[in-house]
Structure 1
């Protein structure tokens, strides 16, 4: 099962990060958390790697609906969006919200996952324009 949605861009990493933030905001998502994996691994382990940022994106209305359907769904929230460098490309990946509905198997999550997936897809597609 493919659990992510991906776009590959020929843009600088920092520029892409800002565009991702804007695209998420336009779809009703805020960024609750930000993990700079590159900096963390360098600081904690002395390891080097490519630019790699994890953004914890949340649409409050959708999160509320998901939690009403299944209180345990918080284990899968927020929606992680990864921005990373790969060669001369910047890759943007988002966890497919359908994974949430599949893991939980609660019927009330399917419409929430559908809407979240639609919004994340729209955000990612807007990056390619």
Structure 2
């Protein structure tokens, strides 16, 4: 799915431009049951605070309330790891979408099976979102090759 994953993220390349990818990621997150709670425009923030120019990049703080509630019930300290950050950024090769891998959360907590279940569920949903985005390269929108996309 990716050639840019550092080990604690899941990622995919988008066939679309930056602005279209940001909107598409929002829609795919919603399809996967996530809402976007926060948005940080790193390009604008770094320009305003440091007067430096960087490539377009946004951090979307995604949350699936049901999963957050389950994780918090098992370990209230998990709140420090929420929401799940999803980054859309431009690089020399196009647009990359990365999400924090919820499996990494398991190594940071002692909450046991309950947090593992939440992490697994969130990971599957995020992987599905990224796969749908990457698959859009097939026909430019839906990833379907049967002409019914």
SS of residue paired to 2:107: helix
Q: Which has the larger radius of gyration?
A: 2
Q: TM-score, normalised by structure 2?
A: 0.84
Normalised by the length of structure 1, the TM-score is: 0.97
Kindly indicate whether residue 64 of structure 2 is the aligned counterpart of residue 59 of structure 1: yes
- Of structures 1 and 2, the one scoring higher in RCO (CA 8 A, sep 6+) is 1
Residues 43-122 of structure 1 aligned to structure 2 (within 5 Å): 43-107=48-112, 108-122=114-128
More helix, by proportion: 1
Count of aligned positions:
129
In structure 2, the residue matched to 1:17 is 22
3-state SS of paired residue (1:94): strand
Runs of 4+ in 1 over 2 A off after TM superposition: none
Cα drift, residue 70 of structure 1: 0.3
Deviation at 1:95, TM superposition (A): 0.2
Task: Return the offset for 1:9.
Answer: 2.1
Quote the RMSD (CA, aligned, Å).
Answer: 1.0
